[in-house]
């Protein structure tokens, strides 16, 4: 059944294959832990073929536009750059005909409400884990955000895709957005939202569409509470020469 729990606890990272270190000597990349029934891994898709010279541009990419606005709004809210109580987010921004793959405005409002509820919970539960990863990335200006591209790639590097991992990536992005605001780099939040959107829509479009897009996201978390859909993330802290910590997520 969808959202079922694993029968046995997963093993800590370090047993078996270890993901490639991202930042620093011996630093292990954090990874989301959840594998949900009904969210099967999808094969990676290569980039679409370039259009021939003179080919008119295609219709707007509704899935990407919805995803970008949803993620951008959530990141800005978490960073204190937008008010969570604002209504009618999507009409006038993304509304209108000719957006293949787009969800309706009312549905995207529900998606934002769901992301607030689930994403905020992830950040509260795993604040220490996110702090550790943020220290490793050492983001101080917009160009440093390219390290988030690697984080996104490693989140799905084992071929498993599920809503738990999608939410964890977006939640980490929101945590980075708060950091950008704190160092007076809030103008870079839109770039961060674009990086996360591209990581999801470019490499996981087929999976997102197969799950019903953001409507499927709302439906999934309507019937699954946070505890049932995202298992507790355990963090392993190991001192490196007495300085800092090595941070890892549990995967099976």
- pLDDT mean over 27-46: 47
Is the pLDDT confidence value at 90 over 70? no
Rounded CA gap, 129 and 29, in Å? 11
φ/ψ of residue 116, rounded to 5 = -60, -50
- Whether 129 and 247 have beta carbons less than 8 Å apart is answered as yes
- Whether 148 and 173 have beta carbons less than 8 Å apart is answered as yes
Query: Mean pLDDT of all residues in the chain?
Result: 72
Rounded CA gap, 173 and 179, in Å? 10
Percent of the chain with pLDDT over 90: 45
Q: How many CA atoms lie within 13 A of 211 on its CB side?
A: 28
Tens digits of per-residue pLDDT, 53-88? Answer: 555 555 678 899 999 999 999 999 999 987 765 444
- pLDDT mean over 236-246: 31
Host H or E run for residue 246: strand 243-246
What DSSP character marks residue 2? Answer: T
Instruction: Specify the higher pLDDT residue, 146 or 248.
Output: 146
Is the pLDDT confidence value at 206 over 90? yes
Question: Tokens standing for 22?
Answer: 């991202």
Question: Tokens standing for 155?
Answer: 């989140």
Q: How many CA atoms lie within 13 A of 230 on its CB side?
A: 27
pLDDT band for 208, please (50, 70, 90 cuts): very high
At the top level of CATH, the class of 62-228 is mainly alpha
Rounded CA gap, 67 and 217, in Å? 12
- pLDDT mean over 182-196: 96
- List the chain domain ranges: 62-228
Percent of the chain with pLDDT over 70: 56
Partners of 246 in beta bridges: 238
Question: Among residues 145, 143, 200, 152, which one has the least CA distance to residue 176?
Answer: 145
Per-residue pLDDT at 157: 85
Rounded CA gap, 202 and 61, in Å? 11
Instruction: Specify the higher pLDDT residue, 191 or 43.
Output: 191
- pLDDT mean over 145-151: 91
Partners of 238 in beta bridges: 246
In three-state secondary structure terms, 245 is: strand
Question: Tokens standing for 98?
Answer: 């000719």
Is the pLDDT confidence value at 231 over 60? no
- Whether 189 and 56 have beta carbons less than 8 Å apart is answered as no
């Amino acid at each position: 059944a969808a959202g079922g729990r694993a029968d046995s606890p997963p093993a800590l990272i370090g047993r078996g294959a270890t993901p490639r270190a991202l930042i620093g000597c011996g630093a292990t990349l954090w990874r989301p832990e959840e594998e949900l029934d009904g969210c099967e891994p999808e094969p990676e898709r290569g980039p679409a073929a370039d259009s021939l010279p003179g080919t008119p541009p295609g219709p707007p990419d509704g899935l990407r536009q919805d995803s970008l606005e949803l993620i951008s709004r959530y990141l800005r809210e978490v960073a204190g750059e937008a008010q969570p109580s604002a209504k009618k987010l999507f009409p006038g921004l993304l509304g209108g005909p000719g957006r293949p793959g787009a969800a309706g405005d009312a549905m995207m409002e529900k998606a934002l409400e769901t992301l607030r509820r689930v994403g905020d919970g992830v950040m509260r539960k795993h604040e220490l884990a996110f702090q550790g990863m943020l220290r490793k990335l050492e983001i101080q200006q917009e160009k440093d955000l390219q390290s988030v591209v690697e984080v996104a790639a490693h989140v799905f590097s084992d071929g498993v895709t599920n809503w738990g991992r999608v939410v964890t990536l977006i939640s980490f992005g929101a945590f980075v957005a708060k950091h950008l605001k704190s160092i007076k780099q809030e103008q870079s939040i839109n770039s961060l939202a674009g990086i996360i959107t591209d990581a999801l829509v470019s490499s996981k479009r087929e999976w997102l569409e197969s799950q019903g897009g953001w409507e499927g996201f709302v439906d999934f978390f309507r019937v699954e509470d946070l505890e049932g859909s995202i298992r507790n993330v355990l963090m392993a802290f190991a001192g490196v020469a007495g300085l800092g910590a090595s941070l890892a997520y549990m995967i099976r």
